[in-house]
Structure 1
Amino acid sequence: MTTTATAPFRTAWNDWHADRERYYRDPLGWVSITGLYWLTEEFETVADLPGQWRADADAVYVEGIDGAERLEPVEGAPGLLVDDGDRRIEVIRRTGSVGLRVHDPRSPHLAQFSGIPAYGPDERWHVTGTFTPFQHAETVTTGAVVAGLEHHHSAVGTIDFDIAGTAARLIAFARTDGSLHLLFTDATSGVTTYPGARSLAVVGPDDAGQVVLDFNRAANLPCSFTDFATCPVAPPENRLAVAVEAGEKDPRH
């Protein structure tokens, strides 16, 4: 497909793409992670981290860092951060288990990061859809890129649209700010794009139920950049048959 985009559309996409690359260049962000370690109920030394750590169903306990400390990471939420010199230890709870992620500004992964490959912007992948709300929000459970973990999403409706001459429907998940987001795969997944899922942010519907889906901004999840993320995979209902040759490509290719 030939890339076609007006100058304003291309400029807006370039700004978005630059913001995405700045985000992943954060010296303490996703690409800086050097390890993910799961805790047990017994105190133990973890890799080269200070102190000793253990976890149970209620909390995480640390001895030897400023005395004794008790942390309570929230299931599925961003982790709690513990300083370790220039590094940050992120304490996360996922599907009942507790893990430590180590963010290091000297990470070789960060040093090697050269940007996010992507298809060029093309206005033919900027489509309008119709949002149909569910009567009540439904919980959709998906697996994760880490075996044994689950993610629970608040599904609030479906979006129907036409793409590449094909009728399609995706389940939409709610964000706390009232917007929507989609997790989807398509015929490029595992070929030129990341196999587990890409994400698409969608502004909430207008009064007529219309939404805009700009697949040029289909974004990689953190797991496409690091083996130490616990991202969800797309639900079976959100697997498109068409090849969406738009948005971000797999950075590991």
Structure 2
Amino acid sequence: MAMSATAMMADPWVLAQQQWRQQRASVLTEPDGWLSLVGLHWLMPGRQAVGRTVDADIRLRAGPDLLGEFELREVDGAQQVIWFPPSSREALHFNDADVSSDAIVLGSDTSEKPSWISWSDGSVQLIERGGKLGLRVRDSSAQTRRDFQGLAWFDPVQDWQVSARFEPKPDGSTIPIANVLGQLEDTPNPGTVIFEKEGASYTLEALGDPAESLFLIVADRSNGKQTYGAGRFLYTEAVVDGEVVLDFNRMVNPPCAYNAYSTCPLPPPENRLDLTVQAGEKTYPGAH
């Protein structure tokens, strides 16, 4: 027999699920969360003026009239981006500090020292995807953030919290993961997760670190109907003694479900489940 709404809200397990979902919405709507993305501009070799002015080579939807010039060049066989700040830079910050140099080497989001250029209500970050370097722009007053519709979820059901077996792979194993840009990248693949549901056995290729958290990019038969068409993400807790819990109630949409400027990875063929997972986050009701 299904639980009444009152009984569900009184259940500690359900309450924990609801609190987790509230926290997810809170993170999404932070000033620099995924809902704040307003642009993604790929850099070309040479110098490019960047800003809101009509004369800019790369025109931003948000930010200062002139953010400066960005030069993409090759140094010792590697790509490098130099930022030349404008003369009027009092309102700008580099990694949360005042801008004190006339030429700054930027680190991408995949480097050991990522760089941020920020102003009162937004920022630019250098990102790297498949050898391409670009500027990702955030604006805390983005329409996607202002018009946030809330998240839609399936009711939490304990049957969708399942125990799984983790089978490790040899060190250095990788799996090709495609992204929405059409790029393919060999990604560390520490092992396979095996679980039982509705009398059948299913496997998922895992990313991440088994000692901390596995990351699963999953497609299922609900995609494009009740859930986001390009699949969903599932994060786990650490693997313990070869076992891990898959809580499908906490499957979430990738950032691409909320904005047009993300570079989301897609489920590998091995992670396309012949199963309808009516659990976790549904299709986002808002526009992007």
Could you state the TM-score of these two structures normalised by the residue count of structure 2? 0.80
The question of 1:58 aligning with 2:92 is answered: no
In structure 2, give the amino acid aligned to 1:213.
Answer: L
Distance 2:112 2:263 in 1: 11
> How do 1:114-193 residues align onto structure 2 when only pairs under 5 Å count?
114-147=149-182, 149-175=183-209, 178-193=212-227
Structure ranking higher on relative contact order (CA contacts 8 Å, 6+ apart): 1
Distance 1:152 1:22, change over 3 A: farther
The question of 1:47 aligning with 2:48 is answered: no
In structure 2, give the amino acid aligned to 1:25.
Answer: T
CA RMSD, 1 decimal = 2.4
Corresponding residue for 2:125?
90
Distance 1:224 1:177, change over 3 A: farther
Corresponding residue for 1:26?
30
Corresponding residue for 2:107?
72
Q: Which runs of 4+ in 1 moved over 4 A?
A: 1-6, 76-79
Identify the match of residue 226 of structure 1 among 259, 263, 266: 259
Identify the match of residue 229 of structure 2 among 176, 195, 206: 195
Identify the match of residue 13 of structure 1 among 17, 20, 29: 17
| Bigger Cα displacement from structure 2, 149-158 vs 95-104 | 149-158
What's the offset of the Cα at 1:63? Answer: 2.0
What's the offset of the Cα at 1:252? Answer: 4.7
Q: Max radius of gyration: which structure?
A: 2
2:106/2:114 contact within 8 Å kept: no
What's the offset of the Cα at 1:137? Answer: 3.9
Gaps of 5+ in 2: 50-57, 61-65, 87-98
Q: Map Cα deviations across residues 84-142 of structure 1 (whole Å, 9 max, x no partner).
A: 33211111111111111111111111101122111110111111111111133411111
Distance 2:34 2:113 in 1: 12
What's the offset of the Cα at 1:78? Answer: 9.2
2:203/2:271 contact within 8 Å kept: yes
The question of 1:217 aligning with 2:217 is answered: no
Gaps of 5+ in 1: none
Distance 2:71 2:169 in 1: 42
1:131/1:210 contact within 8 Å kept: yes
Q: Map Cα deviations across residues 202-223 of structure 1 (whole Å, 9 max, x no partner).
A: 223322x222111000111111
Identify the match of residue 109 of structure 1 among 144, 147, 151: 144
Corresponding residue for 1:243?
276
Question: What percent identity do the matched residue pairs reach?
Answer: 31
Distance 1:250 1:76 in 2: 33
In structure 1, give the amino acid aligned to 2:184.
Answer: E
Could you state the TM-score of these two structures normalised by the residue count of structure 1? 0.90
2:210/2:238 contact within 8 Å kept: no
What's the offset of the Cα at 1:244? Answer: 0.1
Q: Map Cα deviations across residues 164-204 of structure 1 (whole Å, 9 max, x no partner).
A: 33221111112385321211110011222122231111223
Distance 1:250 1:137, change over 3 A: farther
What's the offset of the Cα at 1:75? Answer: 3.6
Distance 2:69 2:197 in 1: 53
2:210/2:239 contact within 8 Å kept: no
Distance 1:161 1:187, change over 3 A: same
